[in-house]
Amino acid sequence: QIGCVGVMIEDQVAPKRCGHTRGRTVVDRAEAVARIQAACDARDEIRASGLYGDNDIIILARTDARVLNLDEAITRCQLFREIGADMTFLEAPTSIQEMKQYCAQVDGPKLANMLEGGSTPILSAAQLQDIGYSLAAYPLTLLSSATKAMQHSLQRLLISGGGPLPSDDNSLLSFSDLCTTVGFDNYYQDEERYRIS
C-alpha cells in the first residue's frame, strides 16, 4: 500500500507564498482553526474506520500569523494542538527569543524552518533540539546550492566561448559518477535481468 504519512495544513490566503517573502496574508483565526479541525476530523475518521490498519497520518498545522504578531501566531498554534494537530509549525520567527517563546508556550512536537537568508535564525540541530524543536526543514539548501553551481558552470561556458570545461574542473562529476548517481547502473542491471534472449 502506498500513501502519505503526513499533511501540512496552513492558514495563508491563496495564492500561497514562501513564508519568508513579502505579501503574505492569513485567514482569520476562526477559519484557520476550522481548516485544522477538518483535517484532524478526517484523520480521526480514518483511524476509527480501521481501513488502513496501523497506518496513520500526521497533521502538521502551520501558521503564518507571525505577519500579524507573535502572540497571534502562538495562540493559533496552541489552538491547533487543543483540537488535535499532531505537530505545529510557526513560520518565520525573527529571533532566537521568539523561537524559545514559541517552544515554551506551545506543547507537542514543533517544526523549525531553516531557510538560509530568511527571517529565522539558522541554528544547529542540537540548538534547535535544546530550544524544543523536534524536526527541522531545509527547504532551499539544495535548490540554492544547485542553482549557484549551475550559474558557475554557465559563466564558465560563457567565458570559454562555449568550449568544454577543463578536465580538472572539480565542479563537475565525472560522467561515470553522474551515471551512478542518477541510477544508470541499476537500470543496466534490470536490463540484463529482464533481457529476452
- DSSP letters, 13-45, are PSSP--TTSTT--B--HHHHHHHHHHHHHHHHH
Higher pLDDT: 197 or 124? It is 124
Q: What is the pLDDT of residue 168?
A: 65
User: How large is the average pLDDT for residues 114-127?
Assistant: 92
Q: Can you give the pTM of this predicted structure?
A: 0.80
User: How large is the average pLDDT for residues 95-114?
Assistant: 97
- State yes or no: cis peptide before 15, omega within 30 of 0: yes
Which tens digit of pLDDT belongs to each residue from 38-57?
Answer: 999 999 998 888 877 766 78
Cβ atoms of 60 and 108 within 8 Å: the answer is no
Q: 8 to each of 4, 5, 21, 63, 171, how far by Cα in Å?
A: 11, 11, 19, 10, 36
Q: 102 to each of 11, 30, 82, 116, how far by Cα in Å?
A: 17, 20, 15, 20
- Taking the C-alpha atoms of residue 68 and residue 59, their distance in angstroms, rounded to an integer, is 23
* Grid coordinates given for 18: 514562501
Q: What is the pLDDT of residue 167?
A: 63
Report whether pLDDT(2) > 60. no
Mean pLDDT for all residues in the chain = 89
